[in-house]
Chains A and B, each alone.
Chain A
Amino acid sequence: MEKINVTMTVNGKEETLSAEPRTLLVHALREHLDYTGAHIGCSSSHCGACTIDMNGKSVKSCTVFAPQAEGAEILTVEGIGSPDRLHAIQEMFKEHHGLQCGYCTPGMIMRSYRFLQENPNPTEEEVRFGISGNLCRCTGYQNIVKSIMAAASKIRDEANVEKKEIA
């Protein structure tokens, strides 16, 4: 099959790959561009292990073709923090034992990342509904929910500090 070039911005960096038009975004990210954070658990949009952020929305990258991401802003779990400065969500997942085998974690964190921007002050019930597109087989979700609630609170606190500093 003829290959085409696809250009997208991944974690702030412009990336171009040459792939068959039928290439799935998750394969483009993992195999062509070496961003292996997003995982594949079902290839059918059920499990959410491949969740990334695309143009400001949570997307299951196993059911998006790479060419559909032409020109898109992609954010993966590799791009939201750094080893020296983890994102609050990453930090709180560590703090509250929000992960076990780690396979769902990148998707879970990326969904939480977007969800907390959609709803910065959620109830526990809203968190549970908000992440219901992401499956976890290990944790029973209780500590994931706890992690996200704690991250929400941390992000709000940080925002308040910034506001005060500006004032």
Chain B
Amino acid sequence: MDDVKTPSREERKSALSGLGTSRKRVEDARFTQGKGNYVDDIKLKGMLFGDFVRSPVAHARVKNIDTSAALALPGVHAVLTAADLEPLGLHWMPTLAGDKQMVLADGKVLFQGQEVAFVVGDDRYAVADGVSLVEVEYEELAVVTDPFKAELKDAPILREDIADQKEGAHGARRHPNHIFTWEAGEKEETNKVLEEAEVVADEMVYYHRTHPCPLETCGCVASMDKVNGKLTVWGTFQAPHAVRTVASLISSIPEHNIRIISPDIGGGFGNKVGVYPGYVCSIVASIVTGVPIKWVEDRMDNLMATAFARDYWMHGKISATKEGKITGLWCHTTADHGAFDACADPTKFPAGFMNICTGSYDIPVAYLAVDGVYTNKAPGGVAYRCSFRVTEASYFIERMIEVLAQKLGMDSAELRSKNFIKKEQFPYTSALGWEYDSGDYHQAWEKAMKSVNYKQLREDQAKQLQLFKDGKSRKLIGIGLSHFTEIVGAGPVKNCDILGLGMFDACEIRIHPTGSAIARLGTISQGQGHATTFAQILASEIGIPASDITLEEGDTDTAPYGLGTYGSRSTPVAGAATAMAGRKIRAKAQMIAAYLLEVHDDDLEWDVDRFSVKGAPEKFKTMKEIAFASYNQAIPGVEPGLEAVSYYDPPNMTYPNGAYVVVMEIDVDTGVSDIKQVYALDDCGTRINPMIIEGQVHGGLTEALAISMGQEIAYDEQGNVMTGTLMDFFIPTAWETPNYETDYTETPSPHHPIGAKGVGESPNVGGVSAFSNAVHDAFKPFGLTQAHMPHDHWRVWKIAKDLGLHS
């Protein structure tokens, strides 16, 4: 028997592919073979298609809708308008932000691309024919696209439905186009500090409107089974359980008769959190026609109508001593929400977590006010690859730090270092009220500065500047720094809910007799690789190899309730639930093992994949043996089977952070930037799968590159969308995208069961500031303090021109 070697502890551990392993993804087999199952792949018997007639104008009264020519087409089955939805009470729907939104134009349209009528037909082609034949008579109204003009006395009133309401979902409204004022911090004290300060930097920082633009657009297939009274909707839903509850509340279909399924999702990035008119119309159309209805946006619909992001005008003042110790921060934000307030934020936070805008710095006093306004633009305000308004907050403080450094004549790396929250200050309560869980910012910063050889970079930059000044080169070098602190993992039920639903999450585990398992979660992967990583968490907790654990998400009939995947909440919340459910399994397994080994529970200790008797490791029961015993032994006082569920209400958010450096060379005459180096150090606490973390960082950095260097949703003064196709809306190709250097420090979250903080959104949060700061840095020697993003070639060329750098 010599050839049967007892595996060592390390070998047993490695066989699990648990925490910290760069386990290959289990999702990839189907995706690489074209066997993914996305919404548009779903084909049901008798299924019809639906699509919208959309408004060509930004603000108009709808005088008449004539559907007769469309209905006369043989392939068209129905055309829905607001008049058809009104008897059902579905011509308007609630938004996630406590506002309401027209499902189909009810008397007027408020943005270009707004849904006016829903045409149902045999296939996409018949529907397209029908859409083109619906005659809508519009009477155009004056348009407001500038949020600073929305509250003028003579501004056209956009939302006539609530024009007289002085109170909105978030307090007092001072103008018909005003949505809310949200404040945090100490107003008077901050003003006093600013008045008395030795140095104050004052700047308007604009984070432009953009769009998450996942490669797969939004869509659904709604199927009302009238025989069983059950509605099933397959859709691109980042929060399937919340969609079920909302669908039940607005349709009056009992919640147990609604099944929401998120199949494979082709990227989300926040775009697929909200509820869109397409879902409501598909459901109604399925009820009306009695057959399944498929609705899938095209790219232009997606960019024009569903879920923009950002559009924050952030006016900031930051004060410091002459030596560079920050003494106070003030911010007033004008938030352009478009025609309906459809932000996807926790209810109590109409400006999301914008009050994380003190960033990584120990700022004694701060004040923030955010005013939301209506304009003739698409609704949304989603968290595009970030937690709620966290990129906006991070961009704001990282620009203000740069502007302050410029005013102080100090290197901004040094200014950051001087003001970082110190390691020993954690848990740290910020001036705007958050309790940062853990971090070691100085360690991260020093590692970053050393890794990029910061001193050398500055010397090279100075040499290049001299060449430029001497007329020997037309290129400048910019070094962009950023240190960000995110706030993710929403969140504690005590202060985080969406439409009253607490933002906990859940995991349910069932161990099979032969020792393999299935786990189901309330989240839904959109490319993050949950089936791979959550199995790793479990493998380490319950000693069953990750490859023996199936992971399922997205079907509300089978998965436990959870609030879904966005705002980097999957690992902090559902990941914690997974670990806690695993611990429940282990606790029961310990009782079973004690019975089998005829010892007391306390005489056992956990050892990777087994319980062994303390002091006698040769006496043990593996999880596989315990699993089988749970099905075939009558154990006194212990129920058969081995299952557990955990609903996890996190005690706090998590605070991932990191230090990023971007180096770029800018051609002053063309505005073209050549990215020379991107270094990203992330601290996401405990690292579950380094390979996936690295992939997330690469992807998030590329979205940051896109946003900062060219991507925007732009409108002209008439409210026409100027960037409605991928010809105009910038998505970097492999050719424009640089290679990235990734790095890390590891400061576990003290309150998370495995110490993990989440990482998917960090690179976008830290990246946008780093890219933008690099552009600013290149022109700093010529007096540039602030130039708004995106820094596309034309805008960069314009910076150079305005600074007099063109001959």
Answer whether residue A106 sits at the interface, using C-beta atoms and an 8 A cutoff.
yes
- Residues of A within 8 A of B (CB-CB), count: 60
What is the CA–CA distance of A42 and B217 in the complex, to the nearest angstrom?
9
Whether B725 and A46, one on each chain, are in contact in the complex, defined by CB atoms closer than 8 angstroms, is yes
Give the interface segment out of B25-33, B100-108, B326-334, B649-657: B25-33
Per-residue A-contact encoding for B1-40, CB less than 8 Å = 1, 0 else = 0000000000000000000000011011111111110101
Give the interface segment out of A53-61, A76-84, A152-160: A76-84
What is the CA–CA distance of A117 and B442 in the complex, to the nearest angstrom?
50
Given A39-B38, A101-B267, are A86 and B32 neighbors across the interface (CB < 8 Å)?
yes
Q: What chain B residues lie within 8 Å of A128 (beta carbons)?
A: 734-735, 737
Whether A137 and B734, one on each chain, are in contact in the complex, defined by CB atoms closer than 8 angstroms, is no
Answer whether residue B249 sits at the interface, using C-beta atoms and an 8 A cutoff.
no
Shortest A118–chain B CB gap in Å is: 16
Q: What chain A residues lie within 8 Å of B541 (beta carbons)?
A: none
Whether A137 and B731, one on each chain, are in contact in the complex, defined by CB atoms closer than 8 angstroms, is yes
Given A141-B702, A142-B698, are A129 and B735 neighbors across the interface (CB < 8 Å)?
yes
Kindly identify which residue among A41, A131, A145 contacts B216, using a CB–CB cutoff of 8 Å.
A41
Whether A136 and B740, one on each chain, are in contact in the complex, defined by CB atoms closer than 8 angstroms, is no
Given A99-B28, A102-B266, are A141 and B33 neighbors across the interface (CB < 8 Å)?
no
Shortest B72–chain A CB gap in Å is: 15
Whether B214 and A101, one on each chain, are in contact in the complex, defined by CB atoms closer than 8 angstroms, is yes
Q: What chain A residues lie within 8 Å of B267 (beta carbons)?
A: 100-101, 103, 137-138
Whether A39 and B266, one on each chain, are in contact in the complex, defined by CB atoms closer than 8 angstroms, is yes
Answer whether residue B701 sits at the interface, using C-beta atoms and an 8 A cutoff.
yes
Whether A143 and B695, one on each chain, are in contact in the complex, defined by CB atoms closer than 8 angstroms, is yes
Q: What chain A residues lie within 8 Å of B298 (beta carbons)?
A: 42-43
Within 8 A of B (CB), among A31-51: 31, 34-44, 46-47, 49
Shortest A103–chain B CB gap in Å is: 3
Answer whether residue A64 sits at the interface, using C-beta atoms and an 8 A cutoff.
no
What is the CA–CA distance of A47 and B303 in the complex, to the nearest angstrom?
14
What is the CA–CA distance of A133 and B735 in the complex, to the nearest angstrom?
9
Answer whether residue A140 sits at the interface, using C-beta atoms and an 8 A cutoff.
yes
Per-residue B-contact encoding for A89-108, CB less than 8 Å = 1, 0 else = 01101110101111111100
Q: What chain A residues lie within 8 Å of B29 (beta carbons)?
A: 83, 94
Whether A103 and B215, one on each chain, are in contact in the complex, defined by CB atoms closer than 8 angstroms, is yes
Shortest A19–chain B CB gap in Å is: 9
Shortest A22–chain B CB gap in Å is: 6
Whether A86 and B266, one on each chain, are in contact in the complex, defined by CB atoms closer than 8 angstroms, is no
Q: What chain B residues lie within 8 Å of A17 (beta carbons)?
A: none
B-side interface size class: 35 or more
Answer whether residue A72 sits at the interface, using C-beta atoms and an 8 A cutoff.
no
Shortest A143–chain B CB gap in Å is: 6
Given A47-B726, A101-B526, A102-B264, are A81 and B299 neighbors across the interface (CB < 8 Å)?
no
By CB atoms of chain B within 10 A, which of A1, A102, A142 has the most?
Answer: A102
Answer whether residue A109 sits at the interface, using C-beta atoms and an 8 A cutoff.
yes
Whether A139 and B698, one on each chain, are in contact in the complex, defined by CB atoms closer than 8 angstroms, is yes
Q: What chain B residues lie within 8 Å of A23 (beta carbons)?
A: 125
Q: What chain A residues lie within 8 Å of B269 (beta carbons)?
A: 137
Q: What chain A residues lie within 8 Å of B31 (beta carbons)?
A: 99, 102, 105
Q: What chain A residues lie within 8 Å of B740 (beta carbons)?
A: 140, 142
What is the CA–CA distance of A94 and B703 in the complex, to the nearest angstrom?
22
Q: What chain A residues lie within 8 Å of B299 (beta carbons)?
A: 41-44, 46-47
Whether B25 and A101, one on each chain, are in contact in the complex, defined by CB atoms closer than 8 angstroms, is no
Whether B33 and A83, one on each chain, are in contact in the complex, defined by CB atoms closer than 8 angstroms, is yes
Whether B727 and A46, one on each chain, are in contact in the complex, defined by CB atoms closer than 8 angstroms, is yes
Kindly identify which residue among A1, A102, A135 contacts B726, using a CB–CB cutoff of 8 Å.
A135
Q: What chain B residues lie within 8 Å of A1 (beta carbons)?
A: 125
Q: What chain B residues lie within 8 Å of A133 (beta carbons)?
A: 733
Q: Which partner residue on chain A sits nearest B525 by CB separation?
A: A101
Within 8 A of A (CB), among B276-331: 296, 298-299
Whether A46 and B216, one on each chain, are in contact in the complex, defined by CB atoms closer than 8 angstroms, is no
Within 8 A of A (CB), among B203-227: 213-217
Whether A136 and B34, one on each chain, are in contact in the complex, defined by CB atoms closer than 8 angstroms, is no
Whether B735 and A44, one on each chain, are in contact in the complex, defined by CB atoms closer than 8 angstroms, is no
Whether A42 and B725, one on each chain, are in contact in the complex, defined by CB atoms closer than 8 angstroms, is yes
Answer whether residue B492 sits at the interface, using C-beta atoms and an 8 A cutoff.
no
Answer whether residue B739 sits at the interface, using C-beta atoms and an 8 A cutoff.
yes
Answer whether residue B699 sits at the interface, using C-beta atoms and an 8 A cutoff.
yes
Q: What chain A residues lie within 8 Å of B539 (beta carbons)?
A: none
Answer whether residue B527 sits at the interface, using C-beta atoms and an 8 A cutoff.
yes
What is the CA–CA distance of A135 and B266 in the complex, to the nearest angstrom?
13
What is the CA–CA distance of A93 and B463 in the complex, to the nearest angstrom?
42
Shortest B351–chain A CB gap in Å is: 26
Q: Which partner residue on chain B sits nearest A95 by CB separation?
A: B24
What is the CA–CA distance of A78 and B30 in the complex, to the nearest angstrom?
10
Answer whether residue A10 sits at the interface, using C-beta atoms and an 8 A cutoff.
no
Whether A138 and B735, one on each chain, are in contact in the complex, defined by CB atoms closer than 8 angstroms, is no
Answer whether residue B692 sits at the interface, using C-beta atoms and an 8 A cutoff.
yes
What is the CA–CA distance of A87 and B299 in the complex, to the nearest angstrom?
31
Q: What chain B residues lie within 8 Å of A145 (beta carbons)?
A: 734
Q: What chain B residues lie within 8 Å of A27 (beta carbons)?
A: 124
Answer whether residue B256 sits at the interface, using C-beta atoms and an 8 A cutoff.
no
Answer whether residue A20 sits at the interface, using C-beta atoms and an 8 A cutoff.
yes
Whether A104 and B215, one on each chain, are in contact in the complex, defined by CB atoms closer than 8 angstroms, is yes
What is the CA–CA distance of A42 and B298 in the complex, to the nearest angstrom?
7
Shortest A93–chain B CB gap in Å is: 5
Answer whether residue A116 sits at the interface, using C-beta atoms and an 8 A cutoff.
no
What is the CA–CA distance of A76 and B32 in the complex, to the nearest angstrom?
11
Answer whether residue A6 sits at the interface, using C-beta atoms and an 8 A cutoff.
no
Q: What chain B residues lie within 8 Å of A16 (beta carbons)?
A: none
Q: What chain B residues lie within 8 Å of A95 (beta carbons)?
A: 24
Kindly identify which residue among B35, B296, B727, B733 contacts A135, using a CB–CB cutoff of 8 Å.
B733
Q: Which partner residue on chain B sits nearest A46 by CB separation?
A: B726
Q: What chain B residues lie within 8 Å of A149 (beta carbons)?
A: none
Answer whether residue A7 sits at the interface, using C-beta atoms and an 8 A cutoff.
no
What is the CA–CA distance of A97 and B528 in the complex, to the nearest angstrom?
11
Whether B726 and A132, one on each chain, are in contact in the complex, defined by CB atoms closer than 8 angstroms, is no
Answer whether residue A144 sits at the interface, using C-beta atoms and an 8 A cutoff.
yes
Whether B28 and A76, one on each chain, are in contact in the complex, defined by CB atoms closer than 8 angstroms, is no
What is the CA–CA distance of A85 and B527 in the complex, to the nearest angstrom?
24
Q: What chain A residues lie within 8 Å of B124 (beta carbons)?
A: 27
Answer whether residue B576 sits at the interface, using C-beta atoms and an 8 A cutoff.
no
Answer whether residue B713 sits at the interface, using C-beta atoms and an 8 A cutoff.
no
Whether B698 and A103, one on each chain, are in contact in the complex, defined by CB atoms closer than 8 angstroms, is no
Answer whether residue B41 sits at the interface, using C-beta atoms and an 8 A cutoff.
yes
Q: What chain A residues lie within 8 Å of B265 (beta carbons)?
A: 101
Shortest B418–chain A CB gap in Å is: 33
Q: Which partner residue on chain B sits nearest A42 by CB separation?
A: B299
Kindly identify which residue among B32, B214, B700 contacts A105, using a CB–CB cutoff of 8 Å.
B32
Whether A93 and B32, one on each chain, are in contact in the complex, defined by CB atoms closer than 8 angstroms, is yes
What is the CA–CA distance of A76 and B33 in the complex, to the nearest angstrom?
10
Give chain A's interface residues, CB within 8 Å of chain B.
Answer: 1, 20, 22-23, 27, 30-31, 34-44, 46-47, 49, 76-78, 81, 83, 86, 90-91, 93-95, 97, 99-106, 109, 127-129, 131-145
Selected A-B contacts with CB under 8 Å, 14 pairs = A39-B216, A43-B299, A46-B726, A47-B215, A81-B33, A91-B32, A101-B526, A128-B735, A129-B735, A135-B726, A136-B215, A137-B269, A138-B267, A142-B740
Since A30-B41, A106-B34 are in contact, a sample of 10 more A-B pairs with Cβ atoms closer than 8 Å, ordered by chain A residue number, is A31-B43, A34-B43, A39-B38, A86-B32, A90-B33, A99-B31, A100-B527, A102-B266, A138-B267, A141-B734
> Which 6 A-B residue pairs are closest in the complex by CB-CB distance?
A37-B34, A101-B527, A103-B266, A102-B31, A140-B698, A100-B527
